[in-house]
Amino acid sequence: MQYKDGLLSITKRGADAMVRTAVQHAASQARAETWKSNADLSTEYEFVATLDSRTTVQCRSLDRRVFKIGKGPMPPLHIKCRSTTILKLPSEFDFLNKGATRASVNGPVPQDLSYYDWLKQQPEPFIREVLGRDRAKLFLDGGLSADRFAALQLDRNFQPLTLEQMKALEPLAFLKAGL
């Protein structure tokens, strides 16, 4: 395979992951410093995840959530994290977002669409690929809103919950989904 499957390939992928993560960290820190310098403009930011099948449970569950500057999670949350943050501007600047879109794996979508709202619009096989069999069944048949499903995915420290932990929080949804 012309040396594409051996040790050199592994080293190259590791270096690539490390560089991408370091660049993301530097960008995140620069953003935070810019926000501190403009504290009179806003005190909040919004977490923005990538809308595709490779987005981690942490990033997709934090998508569109608003945090006080300096109080919430900042990307990168993991190696090769592709999430970002944007400053949450006061309502007097809402005109800037009129008609705004964001990228997704299958083209532009409205800017205010959250990851799980976007996922609800995808074909069922895609949803199962992203969430796994049981979480997909809960997502599709449990009667939960996209926001509630997102909230059920992480604990207070933004770590993923198991299905058993989720069931303890929302037993009726699991019953409704037949899980």
Instruction: Indicate if 104 and 127 belong to the same structural domain.
Output: no
The CA distances from residue 73 to 63, 160, 163, in Å, are: 11, 14, 23
Would you give the DSSP letter of residue 85?
E
Q: Among the listed ranges 7-21, 28-42, 78-92, 162-176, which one has the minimum average pLDDT value?
A: 7-21
How many Å apart are CA 48 and CA 50, to the nearest integer? 7
H/E element, 67: strand 66-68
178 in a domain, yes or no? Answer: yes
63 in a domain, yes or no? Answer: yes
For residue 120, is pLDDT > 90?
yes
**3-class secondary-structure state, position 101:** strand
pLDDT tens sequence across 63-84:
999 999 989 999 999 999 999 9
100 in a domain, yes or no? Answer: yes
How many Å apart are CA 171 and CA 45, to the nearest integer? 33
Mark which of 76, 108, 140 sits at the end of a domain.
108
Mark which of 56, 76, 108 sits at the end of a domain.
108
- Structure-token match 């569950």, residue found: 61
pTM: 0.85
The closest of 168, 175, 150 to 160, measured between CA atoms, is: 150
Burial pattern 153-175, b for ≥16 Cβ within 10 A else e, equals bbeeebeebeeeebbeebeebbe
How does residue 28 score in pLDDT terms, banded at 50, 70 and 90? confident
Q: How many domains does the chain have?
A: 2
How does residue 1 score in pLDDT terms, banded at 50, 70 and 90? low
Mark which of 108, 136, 154 sits at the end of a domain.
108
pLDDT averaged over every residue in the chain = 90
Instruction: Indicate if 12 and 54 belong to the same structural domain.
Output: yes
What is the C-alpha radius of gyration for the chain, rounded to an integer number of angstroms? Answer: 19
Q: Which domain holds residue 55?
A: 1-108
Instruction: Indicate if 76 and 103 belong to the same structural domain.
Output: yes
Specify the pLDDT at position 139.
97
CB 141 within 8 A of CB 177: yes
115 in a domain, yes or no? Answer: no
Q: How does DSSP assign 45-59, residue by residue?
A: EEEE--BSTT--HHH
